[in-house]
Amino acid sequence: MASDDERLRALKAFDDTKAGVKGLVDAGVTTVPSIFHHPPESFSLGNSTPTHGITIPLIDLAAGERAELVTAVRTAAETVGFFRVVNHGVRDDLLAEMLASVRRFHESPAEAKRPYYSRDQRRRVQFNSNFDLFTSPAANWRDTMFLELPLPPEEIPVACRAVVLEYARQVQRLGRALFELLSEALGLHPRFLEEETMCLDRLSMGGHYYPACPEPHLTLGTTRHSDLSFLTVLLQDAVGGLQVLVDDDDGKKRTSWVDVPAVTGALVVNVGDHLQLMSNGRFKSVEHRVVANSVGPRVSVACFIRPCPSSTRVLAPIVTGCEMAL
């Protein structure tokens, strides 16, 4: 086992390359460096879907009566905290180009990405590998391009400049529709969440790149976590690896990891910590992770609808007797 000093030197050497995990793969690594090794307990719940019939709901936003749609969204938000949506209004070609643009960025030459490499959280455009590289117990097998929107077009990396702003506009439009459904699911008027949180103009976008891993049993793409957001809208490619921690429905009070399979044209939506808090725990912000994979790369784009500082004022009116710890 490496000493703390040896580990710190290894972390710094990796970070100094400014090339991320993709740089390791390009250099021809055949084993996973020790800084990426996760302890056995990280895998203790297993990697496969349980056999108890649990699936992540798939909701057609253009089908059925309004009341049926509200019920479907309410049920998903109250049970697993995740659901997939189709007929959401974001064009298929825009989805495909968004994924392609993120892949183009990450597969650009290292010298083209290096100017964006930073750990300064004040920067509105960043590229790095593991935002918590120096504080987490183990690094994840993932690189990320992070954008804090809105941004002037000239500040967006060239590889994705032509698509990011339009995609963000479409996700914000979808976010407005989802907020209306979730407001109604709470028994509120449809515009309540949008008007009271004032957060749809703030969109954080993470373009993730998970290279194929030579030893996926030793590491993770993303460790288990919940999102500090109101809602997260995720676009993922067909590689797979996203898993949600849910309660089994066999009456034995167990939790298991459930796969979120990719569906062509679908977007994945999950409840964030702030929406769980505002709903007094009715809506669930659940833990999820991404497992490493021997095939790839896996590419995904996560859009986080986050709270504005003034949005905390709405907690008292709609949250009664809430446990304020998350």
Q: Give pLDDT tens digits for 4-36.
A: 899 999 999 999 999 999 999 999 999 999 999
Quote the number of domains for the chain.
1
> What is the spatial distance between Cα 40 and Cα 109, in angstroms, rounded to a whole number?
35
Q: How many residues does the chain have?
A: 326
The tokens describing 160, both together, are 């994705």
Contact 32, 214 (CB under 8 A): yes
Alpha-helical runs (H) found in the chain: 4-16, 20-26, 66-79, 92-106, 110-113, 161-185, 192-197, 273-278, 315-318
Domain assignment present for 216? yes
Among 72-86, 219-233, 241-255, which is the least confidently predicted range? 241-255
Give residue 1's pLDDT: 57
pLDDT higher than 60, residue 318: no
The tokens describing 24, both together, are 């390791």
Q: Give pLDDT tens digits for 58-87.
A: 999 999 899 999 999 999 999 999 999 999
Domain assignment present for 213? yes
Indicate the pLDDT class of residue 203, thresholds 50, 70 and 90.
very high
Domain assignment present for 126? yes
% of the chain residues with pLDDT over 70: 88
Domain assignment present for 324? no
pLDDT higher than 70, residue 56: yes
pLDDT higher than 80, residue 53: no
CATH number at residue 33: 2.60.120.330
Domain assignment present for 20? yes
Domain assignment present for 58? yes
CA distances from 323 to 227, 231, 255, 277, 278 (A): 18, 20, 22, 8, 11
Q: Give pLDDT tens digits for 142-198.
A: 999 999 999 999 999 999 999 999 999 999 999 999 999 999 999 999 999 988 777
Residues of the domain holding 246? 4-318
Indicate the pLDDT class of residue 254, thresholds 50, 70 and 90.
low
Long-range own/partner contacts, residues 25-28 (CB < 8 A, 24 or more apart): 25/211, 25/212, 26/110
Give residue 315's pLDDT: 43
> What is the spatial distance between Cα 293 and Cα 314, in angstroms, rounded to a whole number?
42
Give residue 250's pLDDT: 54
